[in-house]
Structure 1
Amino acid sequence: MSDRGLADLLSRPGPWASAYVDGPGVLPQVEEEALRRSVRERLEQAGAPEEDAAAIEAALATRNGLPSPSTRVVLASGGRVELDQGFVGARVGPERLDHAPVPTLLPLLRHLGAAIRYLVVETSRDGADIHLETAGRGHSDADAEIEGQTDDITKVQAGGWSHAAYQRYAENTWKSNQEEVAAEVSELIRRHHPQFVALSGDVRARQLLTDALTDTERALIVDVDAHTRADGADSAELDSAIARSLEERERSTVDEVRDRAAADSGSGGATGLEEVIAALQQARVETLLLDGRMLDDERTLLALDAPPWVAGDESESLGADVVARVHAAEALARAAILTDARVLVEDDEPTAEDAPRESRAVRDPVAVLRWADDAEASDAS
C-alpha cells in the first residue's frame, strides 16, 4: 500500500481491529485452523466486534502465495477487511492483536520501510535473466530474459590463423550479447531506481556486462562469484549476497536520516518527543525515524481527528477532536502519514525465537525536516 493509500485509510473513522501475525505455514490444516481461531478469539477478548474478528479470521484463511515464513498484517473495521498485506520473512517482534479507535501502524510500517527495490541479473555468455524485486514482496515486479546469439559462442582450439579468428569471433559474440543485456539493465535502472544490482553468472559475461555499463550504473553492482544461470546451479551465494546488501542499505538509510537531522547544528532536524511533536504539528517532517521499541514504553499521546493530528494534551489540539490516547509511537507515525511524511522503523529484534534480545534504552524519535527554522538556520550560518 502506498503512503497516500494509507493516509486515506487513516482518515476513516474507527474503531479498528488490527492483527500482526505469522503468515500461512506448513502445519497440518487442522493446526492452521486452530491458529486462526485463536486469533479471532483473542481479538474478541481485546474488544473487537464479532464481525471484525471473523473478517480477519476469514482473510487469514486465504493463502497469499508467499513462501514460509511470512508475516501478515490485517486491519478490519465495520465487518470489512480494509487492509491485508503479507511480507516474506519472519515476524519482527511479538504478535499484536488490538481493537482501538485508530489502527495499529508500526508493525506494517516496519515492513514497508524495509521494502527496498533491487535488480537481480543472472548472466551467461548467451544472454541473461533479469528480475526487478522489492524486498519482502515475494514476487518479481518485472522480469526480462535476454536471448543473445549462440552461433560459435564457444572458443575453439583450431590452431593457427583460424584459431585466432574463431577466438575473436566468439569474444565479439559474447560482447554483443552483454551489450544487449546492459541496455535492458540500464533501462530498468533509469525507470525504477533500484538501490543495488546483484550480478551473478559466468565470470567473463559479468566482466563484459560491467564494462558496458556507465560509471554510475557500475556503482550499483554487487558482484556475486557464482554461476547461477547454469542448469542445476545453487542460488545460496546469490541469496546471501542479496540479504547482506539489504541489511547494509537499511543501516545506511537510518544513518543518513540521523546525519541529516544533525547537520548544521541540528537546524534541519528534530530530536526527542517534544521537538518531533512540534514539527509534526507544523507539517514540517519529511522523514520520521522511530525506534521499534517505543511500543514497549508507556508514553502516550493524543491522536486527533484533524490537523495538527497529534498533541501532548488537549491544549495543543487547536480545536480538533480527540480520537483517543494511544502509544506515543503510534500517534507520531499516524500524524506523519497524514502529513505525507515518510516513516522508518529502526529494529534490532532477534529473528530467532530463542535468541536473546539486546538490553538497551528506547531511542528518541528523530525527524528530518522539510525546511529549517529560519532563526536556527541563521545562527548556524
Structure 2
Amino acid sequence: MANRPTENTTRDIRAEQIQQWAALWRRQTPSSVVHVDAAKLFDGSGQDAETHRQVIQDSLAAAGAPPADRAAIDRILAEPTGVGGPCSRFLVVTDGEPAVNEILAGPMASPEIVTFSPVPNLLPLLIDRNNDALYLIVEAGREGGEIQAFRARHNGTLHHEDVQGRTDSLNKVQAGGWSHSRYQNHSEEIWKQNQNQLAEAVDALVRELRPRLLVLAGDVRAVQLLSEELAPASREITSTVATHVRAAGSSRDALDEHVAAKLDELRAKDESAAIDRLSAGDFENGAVGVGAVLHSLQQGQVETMLFDLDSLGDRTLFALASEPWVASAPEDALGVAVLDSVPAALALARAALVADSRLMFVDPGGLPQQTGVAAVLRWPTGPAVPGGSRPIP
C-alpha cells in the first residue's frame, strides 16, 4: 500500500504556494509575465509555433523585458507541456529566473497576458485556483479497488494506491444444487471482505486529507458493498457514478463529466455561503463596493474578498510599495511610494493576498448591488446608522 500524504502535507503545499505568490507581490523588482494558450506554442493545422513565440518575444521587448527574461521564457515555451487536452502556460520570470512556471489544465479562463511590470499580474493563476477542492476517486472491483486523490485544476495525481483483496472463489460457479449455493455464498463473503478492506483505506484517507468530495465508480455490486462499509464522514461527501472505468474498452468521459459537475456544485455552494455571510445583518459582516473594501483593507478587516470581474470592468487603482498596498489616488497613498496604476482587480487582489485574506471569484452578477468587489470581514462593523447608508462607490 502506498504511503499517504498527510493533511498537513497537502495544507503546507497549498500554504507555500500562497506565500510564494504573496512574496512576488511584496517585492518591487519588475517581472515578465506570460499567460498563453499552450496549443499556440506547437505547430498544427495552419499554425506556426515559432512565429507565435516570436510575437511574444517582440511584445516582451516592447514592454521593456530584459534579454535574460525573454530568453528564459522562450526556452520554457518551447518545451512540451506533457498534458493531454487544452491547457495554458503561466510564467513569471524575474532577472532571467522563473519564479512561477505553471501549466493550467483546461480551456483558458483568462485572456492572454504578455507584460513586464513591477506588479506582476497573477490574476489568471488565482482565477484558475479559485475552485481548488481536494477530491478522491475510488474505482471498485470484486478484487478490491484503486484510490486516487486530486486537486481541482491541478495536473497529476496527489496520491494513488491499489487495495488488493482475496481473489480466490470470486468467479461464481455455474454448477447446480447445494454446491452451487455454497460457492456463491463463499464468493459473496470474499467480495464483502475485499470491499471492507477498501473502505478502511478510503476512510483513513478521508480522515487524513479531508477531501470535499468522494466519487465512487466501478462494478455496480462492488460499489454498493463499498458504500455500505464506509464510515459516516466518508458517506457524507460521497457521490456515485454509474460507470465501470476499469473494464476493458471503457471510457472515462462519464466519470470526468460527473466529477466536473460535482466540483462546480461545490464552487457554487462556497460562493453562496460567502455571499450569505456578506449580506447577514444588513451587511454587518461585509463591505460592498470599492470604497468600502479599500477602507476595510486599511483596517486589516478583510477575511475573504469576492470579485465579480465583469462588473468591476476596466477601473484602475494605484498599487503601492508597502502597506496599505493600494490606493484610489496618489494623495491617498499615506506617503507610500506608488508603483503603478493597474486594473482594480489586480490592485485589490494583491492587497488582500499579502494581508492573508482569501480570494474568491464569483459568477457575473453574483454580488449584492451589482458591484464588482465585496469583502467578508473578520469582525462585524456594527449595524448601519438609522437613516444612513453604508459607503458605496
TM-score, normalised by the number of residues in structure 1: 0.89
- Once the two structures are overlaid, the 10-residue window that deviates more, 303-312 or 40-49, is 40-49
Match of 1:87 in 2: 104
Q: Which amino acid aligns with 1:133?
A: F
**8 A Cα contact 1:110 1:346, kept in partner:** no
Name the CA distance, whole Å, in 1 between partners of 2:54 and 2:360.
32
**Alpha-carbon distance, 1:77 to partner:** 2.1
Name the CA distance, whole Å, in 2 between partners of 1:33 and 1:131.
38
Q: Which runs of 5+ in 1 are unaligned?
A: 349-360
Match of 1:331 in 2: 347
SS at match of 2:259: helix
**Alpha-carbon distance, 1:194 to partner:** 1.5
**8 A Cα contact 2:279 2:285, kept in partner:** yes
SS at match of 1:33: helix
Name the CA distance, whole Å, in 2 between partners of 1:147 and 1:21.
43
Matched, 1:300 2:316: yes
**Alpha-carbon distance, 1:241 to partner:** 0.6
**Alpha-carbon distance, 1:247 to partner:** 1.8
Matched, 1:364 2:380: no
Match of 2:335 in 1: 319
Match of 1:10 in 2: 25
**8 A Cα contact 1:267 1:376, kept in partner:** yes
Q: Which runs of 5+ in 2 are unaligned?
A: 1-15, 387-393
Summarize deviations over 1:189-239 as a string: whole Å, max 9, x none.
Answer: 111121111211011100111111123311211211011111222111111
**1:257–1:211: structure 2 CA closer, same or farther, 3 Å change rule?**
same
**Alpha-carbon distance, 1:376 to partner:** 3.0
- Once the two structures are overlaid, the 10-residue window that deviates more, 60-69 or 336-345, is 60-69
**Alpha-carbon distance, 1:293 to partner:** 2.9
Name the CA distance, whole Å, in 2 between partners of 1:243 and 1:109.
19
Match of 2:265 in 1: 248
- Once the two structures are overlaid, the 10-residue window that deviates more, 333-342 or 302-311, is 302-311
Name the CA distance, whole Å, in 1 between partners of 2:56 and 2:135.
34
**8 A Cα contact 2:41 2:52, kept in partner:** no
Which residue among 108, 124, 133 is the counterpart of 2:141? 124
SS at match of 1:229: coil
SS at match of 1:74: strand
**Alpha-carbon distance, 1:377 to partner:** 9.3
Match of 1:147 in 2: 164
SS at match of 1:2: helix
**1:243–1:100: structure 2 CA closer, same or farther, 3 Å change rule?**
same
Name the CA distance, whole Å, in 1 between partners of 2:159 and 2:321.
39
Q: Which amino acid aligns with 1:312?
A: S
SS at match of 1:177: helix
Please list, as runs of the form range in 1=range in 2, the aligned pairs for 1:1-381 lying within 5 A after superposition.
2-24=17-39, 27-28=42-43, 31-293=48-310, 297-346=313-362, 363-373=371-381, 375-376=382-383
- Once the two structures are overlaid, the 10-residue window that deviates more, 154-163 or 76-85, is 154-163
Name the CA distance, whole Å, in 1 between partners of 2:213 and 2:73.
36
Name the CA distance, whole Å, in 2 between partners of 1:314 and 1:42.
29
Name the CA distance, whole Å, in 2 between partners of 1:74 and 1:143.
29
**8 A Cα contact 1:126 1:174, kept in partner:** yes
SS at match of 1:334: helix
Summarize deviations over 1:8-54 as a string: whole Å, max 9, x none.
Answer: 22222222221111125684388222222221112222332333233
- CA-based RMSD: 2.3
Could you tell me the percent identity over the aligned residues? Answer: 36
- Once the two structures are overlaid, the 10-residue window that deviates more, 68-77 or 24-33, is 24-33
Name the CA distance, whole Å, in 2 between partners of 1:197 and 1:143.
14
Aligned length, in residue pairs: 365
Q: Which amino acid aligns with 1:305?
A: A
Moved over 6 A (4+): none
SS at match of 2:48: helix
